[in-house]
């Protein structure tokens, strides 16, 4: 496998991790759960706020093949 293929898999894994983190945060907001957050050099527990902006993963994200599942496709489940 070449480096470009490994980078694509890294991007796909990062997208999956971001989707999972977003679902955990949504569940915590919905049920008023506190989740651990690293802040001020220690762990604090807080209910996550609503995030209005979509972070750009990186420039490599546009090179991921179209046949891989995207965040939009998983939102319909």
pLDDT digits (tens, 9 = 90+) for 13-36: 999 999 998 898 899 889 988 988
- In angstroms, the CA 25 to CA 69 distance is 21
**What pLDDT was estimated at residue 77?**
44
Residues linked to residue 44 through DSSP beta bridges, in sequence order: 37
Q: Which tokens in the block code for residue 67?
A: 């046949």
Q: Which tokens in the block code for residue 28?
A: 């915590």
Give SS3 for 43.
Answer: strand
pLDDT tens column, 42-55: 999 988 876 655 55
CB 68 within 8 A of CB 57: no
pTM for the model stands at 0.53
Q: Spell out the domain ranges in the chain.
A: 3-75
């Amino acid at each position: 496998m070449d480096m470009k293929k490994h980078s694509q898999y890294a991007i796909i894994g990062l997208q999956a991790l971001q989707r999972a983190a977003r679902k955990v945060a949504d569940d915590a907001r919905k049920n008023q759960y506190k989740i651990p957050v690293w802040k001020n050099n220690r762990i604090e527990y807080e209910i996550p706020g609503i995030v209005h902006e979509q972070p750009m993963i990186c420039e490599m994200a546009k090179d991921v093949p179209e046949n891989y599942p995207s965040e939009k496709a998983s939102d319909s489940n």
